[in-house]
Chains A and B, each alone.
Chain A
Amino acid sequence: MKTRLRDLRGERGWSQADLAERLGVSRQTVNSIETERYEPSLSLAFKIAAVFGQPIEGIFTPETRQA
């Protein structure tokens, strides 16, 4: 799954720790989501969307398989 989380975070000048604090998760979780090694649960995805004021689809996009 692709994510724009790092770009969105950067636009607001937040550190990973800042975002982690707002989401109530560890910085490791934020880092893992941004580096696309971990896909958040639906509830966490909704929290992320609420924090950035965007729909989930605006932040996360599924990886498209090449034919």
Chain B
Amino acid sequence: MLYILSRHLLRLSTMSVRAPRSLNPLLVWGFLLWALSYMGVRIALEAAVGGLGPVRMLLALAPLPFFLMWLVGLIREARGMDELQRRIQFEALGLAFPLTLVLVMTLGLIEDARPLDRANWSFRHVWQLLVLFYVIGLFVARRRYRYEA
């Protein structure tokens, strides 16, 4: 789902009428392999496969190489964007990053004030809000440069 979201987000931010170019294979395969390995490792760890100690840690780090593949693909896509598309991305991230920062820091204070339910408020759940804030930022930035006659 994140792959589909990132693909649509890239298309939304470019809004080009040129023939859609194929996405960088690193971007596509990196994301797919990272997502699959992440889910697989998570299932394995929650099923207590591999016992304790270094094996579990190695499993936890196993998806990282695929994430790096995806990251390289993202960087190459960004380099292929024109200057306005990069500005839109910059403005979107310029909104998402501070919002996420404030959210995480506020949650930290709330946790000091009162213990939060880890099942709902772990980093695993909070990071998804970064995606939401990025989408909001992208929407706001795109509206500034929307097509006008």
Contact = CB atoms under 8 A, between A and B. Distances in A.
Interface of A: 17, 20-21, 24-29, 31-32, 35, 37-38, 40-41, 44
Contacts of B17: 17, 20, 26-27
Interface residues of B, number: 14
Nearest to B84: A29
Contacts of B46: none
Nearest to B88: A28
A37 B15 contact: no
B147 A31 contact: yes
Given A32-B145, A35-B148, A27 B83 contact: no
A26 B82 contact: yes
Contact of A25 (B82, B144, B147): B82
B122 interface: no
Interface in B130-146: 144-145
Nearest to B85: A26
